[in-house]
Amino acid sequence: MQIKKLNLTLFPVLTILYFKNSAPLWIVIIIIVRDLTIILFGIFLAGNYKLVTPSNFLGKVTVDIMSIMMIGYIFNVEILQRR
C-alpha cells in the first residue's frame, strides 16, 4: 500500500504550526484523524479482503485544497479573511 507523500508532509507541518502557537488544535486533530482513518481503513481492506482502493479524483482535489489552504495560512494570505 502506498501512502501519499503529501499526506505525510501535512502532519509534520501542522504539528510544527501548532507548537509555534500558529495553528489551532482543532485543525490539527481533524487532519490527523482524517489521515489515520484513511490509512487504517486501507490496511483493513488490504489485509482482510485483499482489496486495494486507488485514490480517486475527489481525494486528490481534497488534498490539493488542504495544501493550498495551509500554504495560505503559513504566508498569511488575506484573500478570504473577514474585514
Contact 67, 6 (CB under 8 A): yes
Q: What pLDDT was estimated at residue 48?
A: 93
The helix (H) or strand (E) run that includes residue 75 is none
Q: What is the pLDDT of residues 31-71, one digit of tens each?
A: 888 888 888 898 899 999 988 888 788 888 888 888 888 88
Quick one: cell of 70? 495551509
